[in-house]
């Protein structure tokens, strides 16, 4: 009953609000009409009483009456009693019309007085119920307002707590970013100190020592140079990310003696990845390789990197896999403090800083798989204005080409795009050398980079344009950033391509390319993407090449897939579970850069 009453009064008030009073909104008026008829026109009084009875019966069947009855709220005289008395009154009127005696008139007076008192009782009760409903409604309304206020207050405190947490997380991320940058600067300073001071002093001392001691010092200097390379952060304004990873793998192999099998996409697209984010990704891979060298006990390490598109979003997918002992700390209920020194927390913090996904997973049969997925799509914070028109961002370029007509055509195409400003031109090696030196020293002095790209022809009358690449790298070594170099040539052979890329060119494109292809190539090299003419790209790896990147177990599974076996058949052949086969296939897909079983079988 206690739970029912609040609902009753709230619902009742809504009905009362619509009907003004209940049940008397019409009943009371009808009874007044009955009394008027009894006083003046008793011949029509029976019809009026019938109308009164009909209204009573109608209200008795209504929802409001149900609320009264179910709640136990009603005056002493029920509606049924009033209906019975009204029927008796109608009957008394009919008898009085026949007999017209004092007994009939007395009965009519008694019944009408009784009904009048019952209706009055209902009227008073109805007013009390209405007032009570209004009070209860007001009480519940106030309670609702208070609850809503408390809810808003609670939400406010929750929001404040969330905002503070976000602020602390932001401050933590900013502090980690600042610490990382400071660490990189310190690494660079130590590297320069070793390279410029310590190594020369050791070299000077070695000249005064015996042969055996000199050999030992030479090995020490080689180790110091290796440390310098490891400490110095790659300049991703000058160096392509894929090349940096490949060099990291080669250095790891030379330093550790552990075989490192690499499969890094030559056209790895870094999209809108900033140099800072590239460096953080690089350091994560470096730390993973360091763990392989120092802790895993592995004999072979696999390193791969390629692009993936998932749900319309572009990523760089990087994987590092070894065949060592794995990390026991990843196993449930097994935590070894020694593994905290692996720098895993540092790797995770760097991954969070660049909004990337880092996963470490022990492999069935031994070994560890580290997967880093880096988003490279442009965001609101990375989008730059590169649109055309005078309001767009103009990039500067130098053209080094010995043919006047070719230079003029290139200048018209570039400036016509509204994206490029031809800063200067050179038609021979001597002029190009002066131009590069002047711009490089101006860039170093004024702390700006001019140009953004150098478009270079190989054949410059009697000179080789490739020699200019070494000059560019030498002159710009102290500049804030090095211009990208796009070789634009008629030579479509692998010898020239290899020489240009080895010298440090960012891209190599044939003169047969149209204006649209040229502009796309320039935009790609501007964003540190390796660009090579399609007809000069190496063919896709065949099955024999692919096997080089797989472990023994992965090779077995790969060859069985080539034979057309399904997962169930492979599991039966190798004596392992179907789930293990699926895990191995997932790793094989990642290593070889394929997305389906059909692609894998087609290698």
pLDDT band at 456 (very low <50, low <70, confident <90, very high): very high
Is residue 405 classed exposed, middle or buried when 0-12, 13-18 and 19+ CB atoms within 10 A define those classes?
exposed
For 20-101, where are the alpha helices, taking DSSP H only?
A: 24-40, 45-60, 63-71, 79-99
Half-sphere exposure of residue 528: CA atoms within 13 angstroms, side-chain side? 21
pTM for the whole structure:
0.47
Greater pLDDT, 583 or 328: 583
Nearest CA among 356, 464, 357, 455 for reference residue 410: 455
pLDDT digits (tens, 9 = 90+) for 279-298: 888 889 988 888 888 888 88
Nearest CA among 305, 202, 206, 292 for reference residue 255: 292
Mapping DSSP onto H, E and C, the string for 199-248 reads HHHHHHHHCCCCHHHHHHHHHHHHHHHHHHHHHCCCCCCCCCHHHHHHHH
pLDDT band at 587 (very low <50, low <70, confident <90, very high): confident
Token representation of residue 555: 């090779």
Q: Which helix (H) or strand (E) holds 107?
A: helix 102-193
pLDDT band at 476 (very low <50, low <70, confident <90, very high): confident
Lowest mean pLDDT among 175-179, 257-261, 313-317, 544-548: 544-548
Token representation of residue 301: 């390490």
Pairwise CA distance, residues 564 & 64, whole Å? 77
How many CB atoms are closer than 10 A to CB 123?
Answer: 17
How many CB atoms are closer than 10 A to CB 415?
Answer: 14
Lowest mean pLDDT among 76-80, 408-412, 528-532: 76-80
pLDDT band at 398 (very low <50, low <70, confident <90, very high): very high
User: What integer pLDDT is reported at residue 153 of this predicted model?
Assistant: 92
Whether residue 486 is predicted with pLDDT greater than 90 in this model: the reply is yes
Mapping DSSP onto H, E and C, the string for 415-446 reads HHCCCEEEEEEECCHHHHHHHHHHHHHHHHHH
Whether residue 381 is predicted with pLDDT greater than 60 in this model: the reply is no
Mean pLDDT throughout 27-40? 75
Pairwise CA distance, residues 361 & 293, whole Å? 18
pLDDT digits (tens, 9 = 90+) for 12-30: 555 544 444 444 445 677 7
Mean pLDDT throughout 227-243? 72
Whether residue 129 is predicted with pLDDT greater than 50 in this model: the reply is yes
Residue partners of 506: CB distance under 8 A and separation at least 6: 240, 484, 485, 486, 525, 528, 529, 530, 531
Cβ atoms of 242 and 305 closer than 8 Å: yes
For 292-423, where are the alpha helices, taking DSSP H only?
A: 344-353, 404-416
- Residues of the chain above pLDDT 70, percent: 78
Mean pLDDT throughout 100-127? 78
Nearest CA among 573, 578, 541 for reference residue 556: 573
User: What integer pLDDT is reported at residue 501 of this predicted model?
Assistant: 80
Whether residue 64 is predicted with pLDDT greater than 70 in this model: the reply is no
User: What integer pLDDT is reported at residue 391 of this predicted model?
Assistant: 35
Mean pLDDT of the chain: 76
Whether residue 146 is predicted with pLDDT greater than 90 in this model: the reply is yes
Whether residue 519 is predicted with pLDDT greater than 70 in this model: the reply is yes
User: What integer pLDDT is reported at residue 3 of this predicted model?
Assistant: 47
Mean pLDDT throughout 43-69? 75
- Residues of the chain above pLDDT 90, percent: 7
pLDDT digits (tens, 9 = 90+) for 324-360: 887 765 544 444 444 445 578 888 888 888 888 898 8
In the block, residue with structure tokens 């960012």:
506
Length of the chain: 603
User: What integer pLDDT is reported at residue 545 of this predicted model?
Assistant: 55
Greater pLDDT, 433 or 219: 433
Q: At CB < 8 A and 24+ separation, what contacts does 135-141 make? A: 136/5, 136/6, 136/9, 136/10, 136/13, 137/9, 137/10, 137/13, 140/6, 140/9, 140/10
């Amino acid at each position: 009953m206690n739970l029912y009453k609040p609902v009753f009064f709230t619902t009742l008030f809504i009905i009362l609000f619509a009907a003004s009073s209940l049940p008397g909104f019409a009943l009371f008026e009808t009874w007044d009409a009955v009394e008027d008829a009894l006083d003046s026109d008793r011949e029509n009084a029976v019809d009026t009483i019938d109308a009164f009875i009909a209204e009573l019966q109608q209200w008795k069947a209504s929802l409001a009456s149900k609320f009264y009855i179910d709640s136990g709220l009603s005056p002493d005289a029920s509606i049924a009693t009033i209906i019975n008395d009204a029927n008796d009154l109608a009957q008394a009127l009919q008898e009085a019309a026949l007999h017209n005696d004092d007994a009939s008139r007395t009965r009519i007076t008694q019944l009408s007085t009784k009904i009048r008192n019952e209706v009055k009782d209902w009227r008073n009760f109805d007013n009390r119920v209405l007032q009570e409903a209004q009070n209860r409604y007001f009480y519940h309304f106030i309670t609702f307002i208070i609850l809503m206020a408390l809810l808003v207050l609670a939400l406010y405190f929750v929001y404040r707590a969330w905002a503070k947490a976000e602020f602390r997380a932001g401050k933590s991320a900013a502090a980690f970013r600042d610490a990382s940058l400071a660490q990189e600067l310190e690494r660079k300073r130590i590297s320069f100190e070793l390279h410029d001071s310590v190594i020369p002093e050791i070299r000077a001392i070695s000249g005064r020592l015996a042969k055996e001691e000199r050999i030992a010092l030479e090995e020490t200097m080689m180790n110091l140079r290796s440390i310098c390379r490891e400490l110095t952060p790659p300049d991703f304004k000058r160096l392509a990310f894929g090349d940096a990873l490949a060099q990291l793998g080669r250095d790891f192999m030379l330093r550790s003696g552990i075989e490192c099998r690499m499969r890094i996409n030559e056209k790895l697209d870094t999209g809108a990845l900033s140099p800072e984010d590239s460096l953080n990704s690089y350091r994560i891979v470096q730390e993973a390789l360091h763990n392989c060298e120092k802790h895993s006990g592995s004999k072979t390490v696999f390193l791969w990197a390629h692009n993936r598109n998932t749900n319309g979003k572009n990523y760089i997918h990087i994987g590092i896999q070894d065949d060592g002992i794995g990390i026991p700390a990843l196993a449930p209920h097994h935590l070894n403090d020694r593994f905290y020194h692996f720098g895993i927390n540092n790797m995770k913090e760097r991954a969070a800083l660049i909004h990337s996904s880092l996963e470490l997973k022990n492999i069935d049969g031994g070994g560890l798989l580290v997967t880093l997925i880096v988003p490279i799509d442009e965001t609101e914070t990375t989008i730059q204005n590169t649109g055309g028109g005078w309001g767009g961002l103009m990039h500067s370029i130098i053209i080094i080409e010995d043919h006047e007509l070719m230079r003029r055509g290139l200048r018209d195409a570039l400036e016509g795009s509204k994206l490029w400003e031809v800063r200067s031109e050179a038609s021979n090696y001597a002029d190009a050398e002066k131009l590069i030196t002047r711009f490089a020293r101006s860039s170093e002095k004024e702390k700006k980079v001019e140009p953004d790209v150098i478009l270079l022809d190989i054949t410059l009358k009697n000179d080789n344009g490739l020699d200019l690449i070494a000059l560019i790298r030498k002159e710009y070594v102290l500049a804030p950033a090095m211009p990208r170099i796009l070789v634009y040539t008629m030579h479509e052979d692998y010898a020239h391509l290899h020489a240009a890329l080895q010298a440090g060119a960012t891209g190599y494109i044939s003169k047969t390319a149209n204006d649209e292809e040229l502009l796309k190539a320039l935009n790609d090299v501007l964003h540190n993407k390796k660009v090579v003419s399609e007809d000069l790209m190496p063919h896709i790896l065949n099955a024999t090449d692919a096997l080089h990147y797989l472990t023994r177990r992965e090779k077995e599974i790969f060859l069985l897939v080539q034979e057309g076996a399904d997962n169930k058949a492979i599991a039966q052949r190798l004596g392992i579970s179907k789930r293990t086969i699926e895990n191995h296939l997932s790793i094989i897909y990642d290593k070889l850069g394929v997305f389906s079983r059909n692609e894998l079988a087609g290698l």
